[in-house]
């Protein structure tokens, strides 16, 4: 059995002494093993093994396959790729195995009886035919069931792990697969590996294809064609598409199915797509092919928008009253709203759903505050959340897609603001607490940074909005689109029945901001080399790619000399690799700002070293700890195994308002954040931004990317690199059109609605609020 156990034949065989760490959800464990034998040059009596295990029993002998690794702090460990229990091959050994703690209620006597009757190959005989146990005289039904169940649970998984390892499928994926198919795994893998592509997230088409080929399956098998279609659709989601046009889908599927033996025709693919459509595994609609989750998300979102806008606002305030109210607010705030701003406030109060857009410094926040104050005056409600007995009674609900954007919204309005995920009570799985059955509390919902919201989240959010809630969407359509599929904000803006107000007049520019001037020049395609002259909040340091890292470190050195807080400076770059990429910039800045020093703890995670004092960014959502993709924090402590009651190594990161404890397997969710990607900076702002722009980035340089980057800077912006690369980049539009059908869905559904007359048309041209005071 051992020969074909694993493509990697390095093994350690030994008895499990005790488990050091165990994560029951992920099945990740670290354990101490007494070595019985190995084919490695390893002479110690014991070894620490780590990996993903279904269940490990103390006292049981296992054969672990994998490799020895040297851990910076813990020394040598064996990283397990696959394993199986060593079934003793002597009668005595087998008897003690069957009477071990693993088999609850089976004593030595019973075990002896089984072995005497079934012989040394008892285990495989039972696994092949569980009924064989009834041949053992005097064996009770419960005992028979215990033995079969225990063997199936342990051996079953191990058997699957060993089998999958032959195809280079690791323990973690094996666990996912086994959770889904249990003992049918191997049978299914042999008969139809393509079903894994449908059922198991992350199981690639190429892997299924490789397995099928090894098993000599036909390449024109409809399941293969189906899996190819699903794979191509899943891949298109990564480019932001909601669907693929049929012709494009056929062409791309044709390419991946291509093989030298047999041509797959478009007709064959079309036939399979129609079958998949019947089974609702894809949706074919108007010549477009969708994955069902995306089709229903788009459909659901469009229907929620229709539901919301078709409900009227109960009592409308007259324009005269509104002007009076806004005039009062202007007096209280000592400011005078511009015409567009006034119009935005008026329109938002009159609309069930309105979109407010505008570049930086045009007063979006000022308008949001104005809307809240005016709403409170009209409805005679307090804007002090503490004056409400129940939190649910507070009429204003503020949310944003990221933690940082929500924090900014809270800081600028003084009102509570949450991430959309938190607002909806997301628990980390696919379900949200808030939905159409249990909708949100409140009367007025404001969602900022809406350009970052993808169609899945938009659908979840909108189904949870009750009919009597007013909604204000705020965003800047010139920024990067959402990371996830769809382009919800720009599709909404295309609909002329949804009221929208766009702010153009820049207020912050009046305070002399070159950043704002630059942002608007990029927006209006009027940026030229003259605008790149240094100013009090802007400088362009010309340098070549190979000098970028040096220039950036020099800027930091200067900042440190001047006593500035380096945490206020954020480097943003578009790419990880390359000489001026995020990885090397981070490395240089870590060496400068937080170098290795005696007494300062550190851990090695793949190619990087995380050290106490490092600025780090979270790379995935970790809702159980309320820490989300893009959150930035600082490593504040590293604990060794024996320094905490959990007996595991831990790393603690302090985020704005909480400390999160990471265990080793989660360290990969962190990365240095001295320099982060522009994509990850969406929704955040920083006092000082350094932006390297060189021609080697050319593949990435686009107008919306550079616009997003420079608008992250609040006080100062330093661009370093090549002026021509920058000027060239801002002229390049994002030509990767996303395939979405929201626009069409909305125009069909809102056909009965009147065209919104007020989109940026100010009716009462010359009336000012003062006329009514
Ligand atoms: N009507 C106005 N009169 C005077 N100052 C204004 C007016 N509107 C906005 N401002 C000022 O202009 C600056 C930018 O406004 P605000 O922060 O509301 O813009 P924003 O669009 O939210 O900007 P950003 O997107 O960059 O955060 C603020 O200092 C604000 O006080």
Measured between alpha carbons, how far is 447 from 298 in angstroms, rounded to an integer? 19
363 CB within 6 A, ligand 1: yes
pLDDT digits (tens, 9 = 90+) for 536-574: 889 999 999 999 999 999 999 998 888 888 889 999 999
Enumerate helices (H) and strands (E) in the chain, giving the number of each: 26, 26
Q: What is the average per-residue pLDDT within 429-436?
A: 84
513 CB within 6 A, ligand 1: no
User: Is 361 labelled as part of a ligand binding site?
Assistant: yes
3-state secondary structure of 594: coil
Query: In this structure, which residue's CA is closest to atom 15 in ligand 1?
Result: 363
Strands (E), 670-757: 670-672, 675-677, 686-693, 713-721
358 CB within 6 A, ligand 1: yes
Q: Ligand 1, from 327, 359, 360, 361: best to mutate by most atoms within 8 Å of Cβ?
A: 361
Measured between alpha carbons, how far is 622 from 532 in angstroms, rounded to an integer? 40
ipTM over 0.85: yes
715 CB within 6 A, ligand 1: no
User: Is 358 labelled as part of a ligand binding site?
Assistant: no
Q: What is the average per-residue pLDDT within 363-390?
A: 93
* Distance of CA 360 from the midpoint of ligand 1 (Å): 8
702 CB within 6 A, ligand 1: no
User: Is 362 labelled as part of a ligand binding site?
Assistant: yes
Would you say residue 770 has pLDDT above 50?
A: no
- Taking residue 635's Cβ as centre, other Cβ atoms within 10 Å add up to 23
Query: In this structure, which residue's CA is closest to atom 4 in ligand 1?
Result: 335
* Distance of CA 336 from the midpoint of ligand 1 (Å): 11
Query: In this structure, which residue's CA is closest to atom 23 in ligand 1?
Result: 361
621 CB within 6 A, ligand 1: no
- 675 touches 582 (CB < 8 A): yes
Measured between alpha carbons, how far is 634 from 612 in angstroms, rounded to an integer? 8
Q: What is the band of 449 on the pLDDT scale with cuts at 50, 70, 90?
A: very high
* Distance of CA 288 from the midpoint of ligand 1 (Å): 43
Would you say residue 51 has pLDDT above 70?
A: yes
What pLDDT was estimated at residue 152?
Answer: 79
* Distance of CA 222 from the midpoint of ligand 1 (Å): 59
Query: In this structure, which residue's CA is closest to atom 18 in ligand 1?
Result: 363
Q: Which atom number of ligand 1 is nearest to the Cα of residue 408? A: 27
- 685 touches 658 (CB < 8 A): no
What pLDDT was estimated at residue 49?
Answer: 92
Query: Most confidently modeled of 300-309, 317-326, 525-534, 743-752?
Result: 300-309
712 CB within 6 A, ligand 1: no
Whole-prediction pTM:
0.76
- Mean confidence (pLDDT) of the chain: 87
pLDDT digits (tens, 9 = 90+) for 8-40: 478 999 988 888 887 766 677 889 999 989 998
Backbone torsions φ then ψ of 432, nearest 5 degrees: -120, 140
- 492 touches 746 (CB < 8 A): yes
pLDDT above 90 as % of the chain: 50
pLDDT digits (tens, 9 = 90+) for 602-620: 998 878 999 999 999 998 8
Query: In this structure, which residue's CA is closest to atom 29 in ligand 1?
Result: 508
Query: In this structure, which residue's CA is closest to atom 2 in ligand 1?
Result: 337
3-state secondary structure of 736: coil
Parallel/antiparallel/unpaired status of strands 396-400 and 353-358: unpaired
Measured between alpha carbons, how far is 659 from 291 in angstroms, rounded to an integer? 38
pLDDT above 70 as % of the chain: 94
* Distance of CA 508 from the midpoint of ligand 1 (Å): 6
């Amino acid at each position: 059995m051992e020969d074909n156990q694993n493509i990697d034949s390095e093994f350690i065989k030994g008895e499990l002494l005790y488990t050091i760490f165990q994560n029951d959800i992920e099945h990740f464990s670290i354990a101490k093993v007494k070595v019985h034998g190995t084919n490695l040059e390893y002479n110690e009596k014991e070894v620490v093994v780590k990996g993903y295990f279904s269940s490990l029993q103390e006292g049981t002998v296992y054969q672990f396959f994998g490799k020895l690794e040297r851990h910076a702090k813990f020394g040598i460990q064996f990283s397990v790729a696959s394993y199986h229990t060593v079934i003793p091959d002597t009668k005595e050994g087998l008897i003690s195995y069957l009477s071990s703690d693993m088999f609850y209620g089976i004593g030595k006597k019973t075990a002896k009886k089984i072995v005497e009757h079934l012989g040394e190959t008892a285990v495989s005989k039972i696994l092949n035919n569980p009924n064989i146990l009834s041949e053992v005289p005097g064996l009770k039904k419960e005992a028979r069931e215990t033995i079969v169940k225990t063997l199936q649970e342990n051996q079953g998984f191990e058997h699957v792990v060993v089998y999958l390892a032959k195809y280079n499928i690791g323990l973690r994926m094996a666990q996912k697969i086994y959770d889904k198919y249990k003992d049918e795994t191997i049978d299914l893998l042999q008969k139809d590996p393509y079903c894994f592509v449908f059922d198991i997230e992350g199981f690639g088409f190429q892997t299924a294809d490789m397995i099928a080929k090894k098993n000599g399956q036909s390449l024109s098998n409809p399941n293969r064609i189906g899996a190819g279609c699903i794979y191509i659709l899943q891949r298109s989601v990564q480019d932001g598409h909601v669907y693929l046009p049929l012709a494009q889908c056929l062409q791309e599927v044709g390419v991946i199915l291509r093989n030298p033996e047999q041509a797959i025709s478009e007709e064959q693919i079309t036939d399979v797509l129609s079958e998949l459509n019947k089974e609702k595994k894809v949706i074919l609609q108007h010549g477009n092919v969708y994955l069902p989750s995306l089709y229903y998300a788009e459909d659901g979102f469009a229907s929620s928008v229709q539901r919301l806008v078709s409900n009227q606002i109960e009592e409308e305030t007259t324009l005269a009253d509104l002007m009076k109210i806004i005039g009062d607010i202007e007096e209280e705030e000592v400011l005078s709203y511009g015409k567009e701003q006034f119009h935005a406030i008026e329109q938002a109060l009159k609309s069930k759903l309105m979109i407010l857009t505008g570049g930086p410094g045009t007063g979006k926040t000022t308008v949001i505050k104005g809307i809240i104050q005016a709403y409170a005056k009209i409805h005679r409600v307090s804007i002090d959340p503490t004056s409400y007995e129940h939190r649910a009674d507070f009429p204003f609900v503020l949310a944003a897609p990221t933690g940082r954007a929500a924090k900014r919204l809270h800081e600028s309005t003084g009102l509570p603001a949450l991430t959309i995920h938190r607002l909806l009570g997301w628990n980390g799985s696919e379900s949200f607490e808030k939905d159409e059955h249990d909708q949100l509390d409140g009367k007025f919902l404001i969602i900022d940074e809406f350009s970052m919201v993808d169609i899945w989240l938009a659908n979840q959010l909108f189904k949870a909005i009750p009919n009597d809630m007013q909604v204000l969407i705020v965003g800047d359509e010139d920024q990067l689109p959402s990371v996830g599929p769809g382009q919800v904000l720009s599709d909404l803006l295309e609909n002329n029945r949804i009221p929208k107000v766009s702010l153009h007049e820049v207020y912050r520019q009046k305070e002399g901001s070159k950043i704002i001037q630059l942002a608007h020049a990029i927006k209006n395609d009027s940026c030229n080399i003259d605008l790149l002259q240094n100013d009090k909040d802007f400088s362009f340091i010309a340098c070549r790619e190979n000098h970028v890292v040096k220039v950036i470190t020099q800027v930091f050195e200067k900042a440190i000399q001047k006593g500035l807080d380096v945490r206020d400076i954020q480097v943003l770059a578009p790419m990880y690799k390359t000489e001026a990429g995020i990885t090397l910039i981070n490395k240089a800045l870590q060496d400068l700002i937080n170098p290795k020093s005696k007494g300062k703890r550190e851990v090695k995670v793949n190619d990087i070293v995380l050290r106490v004092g490092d600025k780090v960014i979270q790379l995935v959502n970790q809702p159980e700890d309320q820490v989300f993709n893009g959150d930035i924090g600082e490593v504040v402590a590293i604990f060794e195994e024996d320094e905490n009651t959990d007996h595991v190594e831990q790393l603690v990161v302090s985020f704005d308002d909480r400390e999160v404890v990471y265990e080793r397997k989660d360290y990969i969710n962190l990365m240095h954040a001295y320099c982060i990607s522009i994509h990850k900076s969406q929704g955040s702002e920083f006092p000082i931004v350094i932006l390297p722009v060189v021609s080697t980035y050319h593949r990435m340089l686009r107008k919306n990317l550079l616009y997003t980057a420079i608008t992250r800077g609040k006080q100062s912006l330093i661009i370093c690199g090549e002026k021509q690369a920058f000027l060239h980049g801002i002229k390049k539009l994002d030509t990767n059109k996303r395939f979405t059908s929201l626009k069409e869905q909305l125009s069909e559904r809102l056909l009965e609605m009147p065209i919104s007359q007020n989109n940026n048309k100010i009716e009462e041209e010359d009336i000012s609020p003062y006329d009514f005071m």
